Amino acid sequence: MKTDKEIEEMFGLTREDIEELAAPWEAGEIPGVPVGEVIVGRPLKFGEHLKLVGFKETEQKIERMDKRADSLGMKRSDYLRWLVDRDLAAAGIA
């Protein structure tokens, strides 16, 4: 386990620096421009019937899909939904 001094040297911040940086966040004052509510996961579909959509693909392509989804901060299913939504919007039938 690292000591406080080792951690401070590693990150270049003292405990006091961290407390000062954390104070606005703890008070609910998040700096920057608000971009809207962050929603994680599958969109809710209340009132609509859902059907399973699936297809088979090679392991190599699935690995590449997962890597791309991860780079976008998504799960595979969210990534695939996002791609379909973008394509339908581009075709004007979303």
Q: Are residues 55 and 76 in the same domain?
A: yes
Counted domains in the chain: 2
53 shares its domain with 80: yes
The answer for 83, left when phi > 0, alpha when psi is -120 to 50, beta otherwise, is alpha
Segment 5-31 mean pLDDT:
85
Q: Tens digits of per-residue pLDDT, 45-93? A: 666 777 889 999 999 999 999 999 999 999 999 999 999 999 999 999 9
The parent domain of residue 32 ranges over 1-36
Res 42 pLDDT > 70: no
Instruction: Give residue 45's pLDDT.
Output: 66
Alpha helices in the chain (DSSP H): 4-11, 15-26, 59-71, 76-90
Let me know whether 66 and 92 are in one domain: yes
**Cα(84)–Cα(94) distance, rounded to whole angstroms?**
9
Higher pLDDT among residues 39 and 25, named by residue: 25
The pLDDT value recorded for residue 56 is 95
Residues 26 and 52 in one domain: no
Q: The whole model's pTM is what?
A: 0.51
